[in-house]
Amino acid sequence: MSYSNILVRLPNWVGDVVMCTPTLEALRAAFPQARITYLLKPYVRKIVEGLSFFDELVDYNASGFFNMERLAGQLRAGNYDLALIYPNSFSSAYVIWRAGIPKRVGYATDLRKWMLTDPVAYEREGKSGAKRKPVPMVHYYGKIASHVGAHLKDTKPILVPSRESRAKCREFLADNGLDEDKPLAGISPGAKFGSTKLWLPERFADVITRLHDELGMRSIIFCGPGEEDICNGIAANCESARPVNTAQNIIPLDDLKAFVERLTLMVTTDAGVRHYAVAFDVPVVVVMGPTDRRYTDANLEYTEIIQKTELDCVPCHLKTCPREHLCMREISAGEVFEAAAKLLARSGDN
């Protein structure tokens, strides 16, 4: 198989884009002479900037039928000979199909099989075999690329901070009294998925305080858009530990790479930033509630996942909880701190 002009429709979520990067590396290795274009949501553009695996980025702005048709026309003019479609949605396949790209590879989900020239089968489970079986997303994405001969050589995510981002990070840390040679914990309490992924702010505060008092660590609270109240609540509950709260100075996704690269530890919900930590071999404790961990059970050498799997409702994947958020309320600050301390000791031995 030989292709000279490849279009890759990237995933939509931050974590999924990060987990897709090993596949992007494999695709470039398999087709070193090809022109590779990423079609992506504008807000994830900053994640892949710095990678050497693509030639062009095209924003996916296709909300509504007429915008989808307009984008399809734009892509038709690109004369692509292969399209890899990573999102499972009907609309993502529709745009590629309308663009007339001769080879279209993606999963046969969401009633879209007829729009794909190469529908890829996914694993199923359950008595009827109707449910998609959760598998690590890095392998799920890798299967699409392997269909055209691009095989993963590694599953670890790849992120590249820019020189400018590293300079901004150093300046920010210095301005906030965070010495470069002192241990630093990153706290990421938000989650775009919904409230069921959120942990109690006062427990994040307890962890920050114990990291400071018992391990001598300062903390930086990473705030995303719309998460200001959560982060301010955490900071207000741990004044003695003097965490740096970014609620008034939200760090964009490109600069965030440099900040995570600098960390000694991360404590986070099951959100996209946890995969930033994996990319930089930063030990990370994940407080997980309603998610099926099989979607992310890869590259766990420096990861501790705390989840109450003994509850009969876990995983539920609901965005709002009908059971008083038991899966997260039953995770104590002590459990998270102890997991962090053990993880730091283990990673230090390595």
State the amino acid at position 42 in one-letter form. P
Same domain flag for 79 and 195: no
How many angstroms separate the CA atoms of 63 and 51, rounded? 27
How many angstroms separate the CA atoms of 9 and 169, rounded? 31
29 domain residue, yes or no: yes
Split into its structural domains, the chain has a count of 2
Q: Which residues of the chain have pLDDT under 70?
A: 349-350
How many angstroms separate the CA atoms of 258 and 246, rounded? 15
50 domain residue, yes or no: yes
At residue 125, the pLDDT reads 87
Same domain flag for 91 and 28: yes
At residue 350, the pLDDT reads 52
314 domain residue, yes or no: yes
At residue 348, the pLDDT reads 73
What are the tokens at 327? 């899966």
Provide φ and ψ at 195, rounded to 5°: -65, -25
What are the tokens at 261? 């690269």
243 domain residue, yes or no: yes
Q: What angle do CA 323, 204, 289 make, to 5 degrees?
A: 35
| Domain stops at, among 146, 175, 198 | 146
Same domain flag for 341 and 284: yes
| Domain stops at, among 146, 171, 201 | 146
What are the tokens at 90? 């009907």
> What are the residues facing 8 on neighbouring strands?
38, 84
- CATH code assigned at 136: 3.40.50.2000
Provide φ and ψ at 124, rounded to 5°: -120, 160
State the amino acid at position 193 in one-letter form. F
40 domain residue, yes or no: yes
Same domain flag for 136 and 171: no
Same domain flag for 193 and 323: yes
Same domain flag for 137 and 254: no
Same domain flag for 113 and 191: no
Same domain flag for 190 and 318: yes
254 domain residue, yes or no: yes
Contact 327, 289 (CB under 8 A): yes
Kindly provide the b/e burial profile for residues 263-301, where b requires at least 16 CB atoms within 10 angstroms of the residue's own CB: bbbbbbbbbbbbbbbbbbebbbbbbbbbbbbebbbbbee
Distance, CA of 314 to chain centre: 21
Same domain flag for 179 and 328: yes
Same domain flag for 134 and 170: no
Helix (H) or strand (E) run with residue 40 in it: strand 35-40
| Domain stops at, among 93, 119, 146 | 146
Contact 290, 314 (CB under 8 A): yes
Same domain flag for 214 and 101: no
174 domain residue, yes or no: yes
Same domain flag for 39 and 67: yes
User: What domain range is 169 assigned to?
Assistant: 163-349
At residue 349, the pLDDT reads 56
193 domain residue, yes or no: yes
Residue 266, classed as helix, strand or coil, is strand
